[in-house]
Structures are given as structure tokens and as C-alpha cells.
Amino acid sequence: MRTLAVAAALCGLLLICVCDAPVVSAKRAKKDKREKADREARPYLYFDLADFKAKLKHEPFSSRWSRLIGVANDYASQPLSDKKVIGGGRSRNAEGLIELLSLAYVVTGDKRYGQRAKDEVWAILGQDKWFEPKSWNKGAELPTAECCMASARFYDWCNDLLSKEDKQYFRERAYELGLKPYLASIEKHHDWWVDNYVTNWCGVVHGGCGLLGLALYDELPEAKKAADYAWDYLQKFLDGVILQDGAGHEGVMYWRYGVSYGFMFVTAWEHVMAEDLPFDTSERLAGYWDVYMDGPDQTYANFNDMNEDTFKGLWSENPKQWEGGPSSGLNALFESRTEDGDPLLLWAADNGGGGAFNNGISPDWFLWRRDTGPAGDKPDMQRNVLFRGAGHAILSSDKLWLAYNGGWISDKSHNNNDLGTFVLVHDGERFIHDPGYDKNETDKHTTITIDGESQPKASQAKFLAFEEGKKFAWFMNDLSDCYGGKTKRATRSVIMVNGEYLVIVDDVETTGTDDIDLRFQSKLPIETTETGAVLKGKTGELHIIAATPEVAVATGDTAGAVKHVSLRAKQPSSDVTFVTVMFPGKQPRVDWKTKGGKGTLTVNGDKHEFSHTSAGWLPAKIDGEKVAKPKQPEDRILKPAK
């Protein structure tokens, strides 16, 4: 049992011995041999307590730890809520409070923190249920996992506060409310998330419930079974959701949720059992997608069912934006698992946000960040990248930033029917928007619609080209299989010219219908023209100009503040090519001419040549620079920062 006197003496000794000690890397080499943690001594999840305390004495840990203690002081004085876990939304607030106070207690020994954490845990243990059986899910669910995770960390970090009777009560209630429904989900109901290695539910429920099992591993046979199940399933989940080039299918928000919980368990298991995840996250550049999808307006490309203001801002610039920017915890983790470290991931770890339920100070950052000095300035990032697994592309320059979704519509998780869509930022202002959460239909996105219908789930697009030249960056995305059999050909080519403007070529041939509509979504004021529209921003204008064909232009409401521009051919056809120029600033002179299978697009003084092929219209020269024939990108384009 720890006493306050012993804790105070230990803290004093550490201050004497550690304050002037050099920073020592805590990253272990891949082949280091480790021993299993001693599960008879608490805490045993995640860390050796003396080592953990030592790193908190120097930067960047010490200043952030002071922030955590400030939040802990606020939490310790909060009265208990009377909200329910099920039906009252209590689990996430309780989770944030419990894990932060428990960590504050295990380090400081201040019983104010431990007792308030215990009061919260006892309040949720005293409720009648942590899950609600449904027609589509009979057992454990997200609140179950959130309560389990918080309870597990409390039990490990505040164990010396508990009497024998307390521990017995904890085991009984934790089993009944958390482990029992979790095991039933796996062994009895086979709930939909159990082996669904796309959905965030798989990571969250296995991660949270499994961690409770690991915290009680030697105290309940059911706990051992739960932890063993979680280790088995989470290896497959993380292998399935950290795709080629490190991206995910479910959008940044839901991906971060599932992967964070997955690693809350996995990193504890690795420490306790001396076993490693059987694949190397650094080989996939895990974490880079999270950083690259954050636009220069400090707003994410919010594809796949995510609101635009989610993770908006940057925590290091405004700590009131608790979740602002990349995930501090996950990027700390991925950086620590990269041999020799990674400056981009370290920057993201030290500058990105924590959680909304811990006031931006994530306990996971302390658990996962490598023991090395503060991050430097943000490294230069590649202008143009493709995340092959998710089908997300970025084209950028000093002024323009485009993020594009050309991958897969999930039929196993959160999704939008929005292949071919993009968001666009110019000079720090977003001109083309994604309408956000629960706006799933294709016509609510910046893409091609056929017959006004949504692209079916499980549709898969593919990239036919991704090329960079001195004067251009270009990709070609094949959407032919994304319209339920209604298209013989549907390709979208996006060309960024000299980093100044975009040329978009949409080449569509249907099986009969001529109802083909191009949509552009924006929150900005829209002024229509004969050839398209002008979006009126605070920093300037964006001209949307159909060079060909002649178009009928319409506008309308999409959702909330988002309106749309609709372009349709004035002379509808089942075989049509739209060439659209998106030009910031003063309205350009645009002209399109064809002759003998050749097309020439002129934008002010720039001349772009196209060839008509069996694959549709392809760029031949952009502003005089020759463009290679399209080649499906197989090699990685994304490069690690150094």
C-alpha cells in the first residue's frame, strides 16, 4: 500500500536525481528482448511507475503535466452527475474524468484525485446496465467499452485505494456490466462488429472491454478470456484499418476513434505480455494521413461522414480547441514505433489536440510519447500525395489545396456515397465544402450524379494515373463501377496547373440515360453565370467555368449553410465530356476547341492539349509540358519526412 508520506519522499528523491538528467530515448529497438510485467504489483498496465515519473520532470512532459494537473483539480471539485450511461450519455464524460484523475493520482499520490475517480467509477458501477440490447446488436456497445476502459485504468492506477471488499465489489460489477455482455457478443450473439475489421466499433469495443479483462487478468477467469479474445481480434482489426500508406476507410474522425481504442489495449498487452503487434505501423507510414488530411485552413477534408468543424484549429495555437489538429496521442504512438523517430509525427504529437472529454490533455500522449525532446518546426510536406489504400489524393501549392476521395464506399461502416468528391482551399479559405455528418447522398457532394441517384454501397473507384510535372500535377480516377451499372465509362481527371488553378475533365458514357449532373458544394455566396458560377469568398473569388459543353446552370440548397451549383449539358447526351476550369481571382479567358481527335483548352495565355482515346480525353501537354500516358500508380508516392 502506498502512503502519502512514501509518495512525497519518492517525489522529492526524483526531483533531486532527475531534474538535470539528460533526455534518454525510451524507444526500444525492434529486436530488444523484454520481460513480462509483474502482474502482482500495481500498476502493471503500460509503464514502470518510477520510469514514468522520471520522464515527467523534463520537457516536453513537465509543462503538459502541469496542464493535466490543472484539469485534474477542476475535475476533482466537480459534483457527481445523475446521468445514466445508457440513455444519458454519461460514458464519455465519465471516461475522460476517470482516466485523467486516475493518472494524476498514480503519479502524485494525492487522494483527492483518486477518491473523486473512485466516486465516479462507483457511480457507473452502481447503474443497472452499460448496454442496451437492440435488434442489430445484442451485447456490448460503445458505452460499454468506454466504461470498461476507464474502469480498467482506474483499477490499475488507483488499486491501492481499494479495500478487499472494494475489489470484490469492483470485480462483480465490472463482470456483470462489462465483461459479461462483451463475451456474449462474441460467443453467443456474434454481434456485427466482432470481426468487422473496418468499423470503429471493432476497435472501440474490443479495446475497451479487453483492457478491463487485462486489468483483471489473474482475478477472474472471464477476464482472462476477454483479454485473450481482444488480443486476437485487435491484431486483425489494426491490420485491416491501417491501410496501404497508413490511411483508413471510415474517415479521419471514426478511424481515430477505433484505432485509439485498439492501441489502448494493444500497447498495454505488449507491455504486460512482452508480445508485439505482428506488423510494423511505420512501414505503412501510419499517422501521415491524419496530418495530410488537415487543410491549410486548419480544417479537415471531412470525407466519410464527418462534420467540417471536427478537429478544427490547432491545439498548440489555441488550447481551447481541445481536439484541434492531428491526434496528439496517436501520432506520439506512431512516432515512437518508428525507428530513429519521425519529425512530422513528432510535430503532430506535440501540436495536435487531445480529447474533448479531457480538455485536450490526452493521458495517451503521456503513455505513448517517446522520451525525447520537444518537436521542432513542422517539416516541409509533399505537395502532391496519394494514399493508395483509402484512395485519397492531395494536390497542393502555396495557394491551392485540394483533397479528393476516389476510393471505396464502405458497406461495413460509416460512409458517404461520394466517390469523385473533393474539397478545395485557396489562400487559406475553403471554397468547396463537404456538407458533413449524415449527408450521405451523392448529389450532396462535389461529384457526378447519374439519374439523380446515389452511388451504391461497396462501389470501388480506382486511380488510373497520378503524375507530377514541372508545371502540373494530375490524377485520373475511374468511377465507371460506381453507378450501379449505369455507366460504360466515367472518369474524372483533376489537373492543377502551375499551382494556380484546376482543370477538371469528366468523361461520361452511360448505358442510355442522359441525366448527368455535375455538382459543386459551397458555403459561400454563389453568383451564377452563363458558363458556371462565381463563389464569393472573403479573400477573393473562385470562378467555375464550363469550357465544354454549353451548360444549363442551377443552384439550390444542399444542407444547412451548404448550397450547390449544378451543371448539365444544354443538349443532353448519354456520351458527354465536361471540361471545367476552377480559377481563383479575376475571371480568366477560357476557350475550348476540337479538331481531328485533338482538343485545345486555353486559359488566359496557357495552352493545354488533349487527345481523344478509347479511355476518353487525356492530357497530352499542359502549358507546353508533355504529359506521359496514364499509368496506374503501384509504387508508393508518399515519402517519410526527414
Integer angstrom CA distances of residue 166 from 122, 156, 230, 577: 10, 13, 26, 71
Enter the DSSP assignment of 638.
-
Confidence of residue 607 (pLDDT cuts 50, 70, 90): very high
End-to-end CA distance of the chain: 47
Convert the pLDDT of each residue in 186-235 to its tens digit: 999 999 999 999 999 999 999 999 999 999 999 999 999 999 999 999 99
Report, as an integer, the average pLDDT of 388-402: 98
Q: Rounded mean pLDDT of the chain?
A: 94
Would you say residue 336 has pLDDT above 60?
A: yes
Look at domain 391-626 and name its CATH class: mainly beta
Supply φ then ψ for residue 238, to 5 degrees.
-65, -35
- Quote the CA–CA distance of 418 and 538 in Å, as a whole number: 27
Domains of the chain, residue spans: 59-368, 391-626
The predicted pLDDT at position 614 comes to: 87
CB atoms < 10 A from the CB of 298, how many?
16
The predicted pLDDT at position 19 comes to: 33
Would you say residue 30 has pLDDT above 60?
A: no
The predicted pLDDT at position 254 comes to: 97
Convert the pLDDT of each residue in 113-161 to its tens digit: 999 999 999 999 999 999 999 999 999 999 999 999 999 999 999 999 9
The predicted pLDDT at position 581 comes to: 99
Q: In what order do the strands lie in the sheet with 462-468?
A: 462-468, 472-478, 487-497, 501-510, 575-584, 541-548, 532-536, 526-528
Convert the pLDDT of each residue in 112-123 to its tens digit: 999 999 999 999
Convert the pLDDT of each residue in 563-579 to its tens digit: 999 999 999 999 999 99
- Tell me the three cell numbers of residue 437: 455528418
Convert the pLDDT of each residue in 277-299 to its tens digit: 999 999 999 999 999 999 999 99
Could you identify the residue written with the cell 488480443? Answer: 231
CATH of domain 59-368: 1.50.10.100
Number of H helices, E strands in the chain: 15, 22
Which has the closest alpha carbon to 584: 400, 383, 394, 384?
400
Enter the DSSP assignment of 327.
B
The predicted pLDDT at position 32 comes to: 53
The predicted pLDDT at position 642 comes to: 80
The Cβ-side half-sphere exposure at 112, using a 13 Å CA radius, reads 11
Its pTM stands at 0.94
The predicted pLDDT at position 615 comes to: 85
The predicted pLDDT at position 287 comes to: 98
Least confident residue range of 34-43, 347-356, 478-487: 34-43
Report, as an integer, the average pLDDT of 172-194: 99
Convert the pLDDT of each residue in 463-520 to its tens digit: 999 999 999 999 999 999 999 999 999 999 999 999 999 999 999 999 999 999 999 9
Report, as an integer, the average pLDDT of 615-641: 95
Would you say residue 7 has pLDDT above 80?
A: no
Rg (CA), the chain: 27
Would you say residue 23 has pLDDT above 50?
A: no
**b/e burial code for range 493-522 (CB count within 10 A of at least 16 → b):** bbbbbeebbbbbbbbbbbeeebebbbbbbb
Confidence of residue 453 (pLDDT cuts 50, 70, 90): very high
Convert the pLDDT of each residue in 505-558 to its tens digit: 999 999 999 999 999 999 999 999 999 999 999 999 999 999 999 999 999 999
- Tell me the three cell numbers of residue 232: 486476437
